Structure 1
Amino acid sequence: MKQTFRLFFKERTTWVAVSAAIIFQLIFGAVWMTGYEGVAERMKQVRLAVVVQEGQLASLLEKLSDRSPIEVVRYKDIETALYDLDLRKVQMIVNVQQESTPSGSSLPPEIQLTYYMNESNPAMVKSIMTAVASEFTDAIKKVRLVSMIAQQKNGSNSNIFADPGVQSSVVTLHPAGDMHRQMIPLMLVLASFVGSMLVAMNLEQSTQALIGKTSRWHRFFVRGIINLIVAIVVSAVGATMVAWLGGPIVGGFWMLMGFLSLLMVAFLFMTQLFVLIFGLAGMLINIVLLSMQLVTSGAMLPRVLLSEGYANVSQWLPATYGVDGMLNIMFGGTGTTQDSWMLTIMGISCFILGAAAVVMKRDVHQTATVTVNNV
């Protein structure tokens, strides 16, 4: 037993396995702890669009917005606000309407609050905005009640307890249903990138075994063809699983499969790039990229709550556009044109950089062979 133990630790791969487990802990801990640090302090970056007409009610809402824990942005019309809600530029809309007061009544006009929520977002957005809507409604009610009490002290005979006061309702855009459905983009991103890492690692080992048997360009282009085949097959499996398990696909099965293929291509050529440059040590960079993308993609935490540094990094990672596109395809939204273009550009860029790495890197085996022959 002792001899077997010693033999195991004489092998380099045993040390690599132990080191990889430790590195995973260090990288994920560092990225996730720093990525989610200060989220509560950045709640002011969450935006509530308020649609209200000019008048006394508008000045009242301005006073409330100063005390709000989130950013309150005023819009002149509901159409513009709904457009920005669809683009996820705002996280919720409240349309404030003041009803007419019956003649002879001393009660202030009734207020109707209509909240619009876009569920084609991370699940956290819905929970945050539901709480905000409740607090906003309560604040309006309190201010209205203070005004009515003041009227009664001035001699009014109004019955404040009979007043309906403030009414609220919620309109849902692109309903997602249960929370497990909103977690589908996270599942697809995680499975796709981890799968791409494994493909890159194993194809690199196959490539090393073929050195001296085929040219480096043949190996590089065959790897590219295999990546494209893997992207199509894996995307078909992923889209089929989502459809089979009852996941919502507003945009249709083929659109989801096609978009997933683009995302997989970007992932495959990105993970391959660092392996081409650094060999199997490039997997360490891929581990960092995995953690970074899970934090910054917007699948779990809305990107508006990220620090400026992580928000800037997210613009250079495929998962960001993958999550946006999948939310639009599965639940509804503004389409996938921009996201598809960004993924295409990233995939092509990584492929070109990979070709440059092949140019710069020599075949050690072939160089050694040429040297022996010359001798």
Structure 2
Amino acid sequence: MSVFTVLKDFLKILQTKIGLVFALVVPLIFTIVWLTGYNGATERVDQLKIGIINSDGANGQKIEKIIQETVPFKTENYASLEEAKQVMNDGDIGMIVSIPAQFAANLDKGEGQLTYYVNQAASEVSRSILEGSTEGISKSVGAKLSGIVQKEVVTTNVVKSNNITNFALSMLPMILGFITYIAVMTMNIQLNLSTMILSRKYDRWKIFWARQLLLLMVCIVAPLIITTVAMLFVTPVASFWQMWGFHILVYIACVCLTQMSFVLFGGLGALFNVAMIPFQLMTAGNIIATEMLTPFYRHIGDFLPASNAVRGYVRLIYSGAPVTSVVINLILIALVTWGITCARLALHRAPAPGVATTNAH
């Protein structure tokens, strides 16, 4: 028997064909998604948002107008620093520019200072862009007021909001949010194979409900262990119960999505799950702000578990801000995908127990 005969038999096996598809399609998906999604991202800084607080009344309105005309970002006015910080903690703005009381009077004394609150929980790229713009904004204000005061008098005070000095803590959103998806995806690949074996002996609905019970136990116990271990090393702003409860929901959403793919596509469900990885990495918002992505990709992350998980953990870990909108997204993802799974099983005519199948339940 020649090696070519063995090769021919190799290529007849379904798993071999799937493996070859993975070798080509996975890097191809990453290439297409990331190169189209990130294309021209740095040119879309005009999509970034900052807040402006004017505490100098009518005298500060001129400064406020200069800032709005100077920056390439979208601007929003807020009545108080507390209100602006709440919006920033929710992830809607990346920086706050504060015009202090008596700013105009201090300019006459040569003591004018603008304070910038830069959200350290924002994406790396947007944070760098916003923080790098602070000196330029101050200089522009000084230059526009050059008839009143020399531009050097307008100094810059940068305050790093939600700052975390422990680098390990900054990695936690990706660990708990994105790696959870990878772990659940891998688990469901193995459970899919187990389901195919059990289908020779048991009814599909018995297998399904047994699998759901097993997955539910995983969704409770695994987050408990992982959250406990994580909080032995780092201390986020949120409490243990908030972190654990949110992680349970992340697990459930990831389980429901990855399980659905196998019910819909059989063995190729693994390829679908892997194909979701570049979308979730790109739209999580921790590397680059979603506003800077090409328009087609900006809202895709709202429908994916890992993207929502990372966004939620950024709030819980850095500021303790509410994660209500993220929780709603995760619940909807879980309900819709689990509902599709049940509907597909109900409509699918499965062979009687004892007959080998190639599709998963």
Once the two structures are overlaid, the 10-residue window that deviates more, 248-257 or 28-37, is: 248-257
Cα separation, partners in 2 of 1:253 and 1:79, compared to 1, 3 Å: closer
Aligned AA (1:36):
Y
Aligned AA (2:196):
Q
Is the contact made by 2:139 and 2:152 (CA closer than 8 Å) also made in structure 1?
Answer: no
1:156 corresponds to: none
2:62 corresponds to: 59
1:373 corresponds to: none
Cα separation, partners in 2 of 1:137 and 1:231, compared to 1, 3 Å: same
- Distance in 2, matches of 1:6 and 1:258, equals 55
1:155 corresponds to: none
1:236 corresponds to: 224
Deviation of 1:95 after TM superposition, in Å, equals 0.7
1:330 corresponds to: 317
Deviation of 1:365 after TM superposition, in Å, equals 5.2
1:112 corresponds to: 113
Which of the residues 93, 98, 103 maps onto 1:90?
93
Report the secondary structure of 2:179's partner residue: helix
Is the contact made by 1:94 and 1:114 (CA closer than 8 Å) also made in structure 2?
Answer: yes
1:153 corresponds to: none
2:36 corresponds to: 34
Is the contact made by 1:211 and 1:363 (CA closer than 8 Å) also made in structure 2?
Answer: no
Deviation of 1:273 after TM superposition, in Å, equals 0.4
- Distance in 1, matches of 2:260 and 2:105, equals 68
Once the two structures are overlaid, the 10-residue window that deviates more, 300-309 or 287-296, is: 300-309
- Distance in 1, matches of 2:336 and 2:170, equals 31
Over aligned residues, Cα RMSD in angstroms? Answer: 2.7
Report the secondary structure of 2:298's partner residue: helix
Q: String of CA shifts for 1:8-56, please: whole Å, max 9, x gaps.
A: 5522233332321211111111111111112122111111211124545
Gaps of 5+ in 2: 357-361
1:45 corresponds to: 47
Deviation of 1:252 after TM superposition, in Å, equals 2.3
1:131 corresponds to: 132
Is the contact made by 2:237 and 2:316 (CA closer than 8 Å) also made in structure 1?
Answer: yes
Report the secondary structure of 1:49's partner residue: strand
| Bigger-Rg structure (1/2) | 1
1:157 corresponds to: none
**1:271 maps to 2:258:** yes
Is the contact made by 2:257 and 2:337 (CA closer than 8 Å) also made in structure 1?
Answer: yes
- Distance in 2, matches of 1:238 and 1:127, equals 31
Cα separation, partners in 2 of 1:359 and 1:231, compared to 1, 3 Å: same
With normalisation by structure 1, the TM-score equals 0.84
2:299 corresponds to: 312
Which of the residues 337, 342, 352 maps onto 2:329?
342
1:201 corresponds to: 189
1:221 corresponds to: 209
**Structure of higher RCO (CA pairs closer than 8 Å, 6+ residues apart):** 2
1:189 corresponds to: 177
1:7 corresponds to: 6
Once the two structures are overlaid, the 10-residue window that deviates more, 313-322 or 180-189, is: 180-189
Is the contact made by 1:121 and 1:182 (CA closer than 8 Å) also made in structure 2?
Answer: no
Percent identical residues: 24
Cα separation, partners in 2 of 1:54 and 1:100, compared to 1, 3 Å: closer
- Distance in 2, matches of 1:232 and 1:71, equals 42
Gaps of 5+ in 1: 150-159, 370-375
Is the contact made by 1:120 and 1:327 (CA closer than 8 Å) also made in structure 2?
Answer: yes
Is the contact made by 1:94 and 1:113 (CA closer than 8 Å) also made in structure 2?
Answer: yes
- Distance in 1, matches of 2:215 and 2:293, equals 32
- Distance in 1, matches of 2:48 and 2:342, equals 42
Is the contact made by 2:103 and 2:112 (CA closer than 8 Å) also made in structure 1?
Answer: yes
Deviation of 1:198 after TM superposition, in Å, equals 1.3
Which of the residues 270, 275, 282 maps onto 2:269?
282
With normalisation by structure 2, the TM-score equals 0.87
- Distance in 2, matches of 1:247 and 1:135, equals 36
Cα separation, partners in 2 of 1:108 and 1:55, compared to 1, 3 Å: farther
Deviation of 1:240 after TM superposition, in Å, equals 3.4
Q: String of CA shifts for 1:193-235, please: whole Å, max 9, x gaps.
A: 1112112211111111112311111111111112112223332
Cα separation, partners in 2 of 1:6 and 1:42, compared to 1, 3 Å: farther
**1:253 maps to 2:240:** yes
Report the secondary structure of 2:194's partner residue: helix
- Distance in 2, matches of 1:122 and 1:164, equals 31
Cα separation, partners in 2 of 1:28 and 1:237, compared to 1, 3 Å: farther
1:293 corresponds to: 280
Once the two structures are overlaid, the 10-residue window that deviates more, 82-91 or 55-64, is: 55-64
Report the secondary structure of 2:99's partner residue: strand
Aligned AA (2:130):
M
- Distance in 1, matches of 2:67 and 2:241, equals 47
- Distance in 1, matches of 2:94 and 2:256, equals 34
Aligned AA (1:303):
T
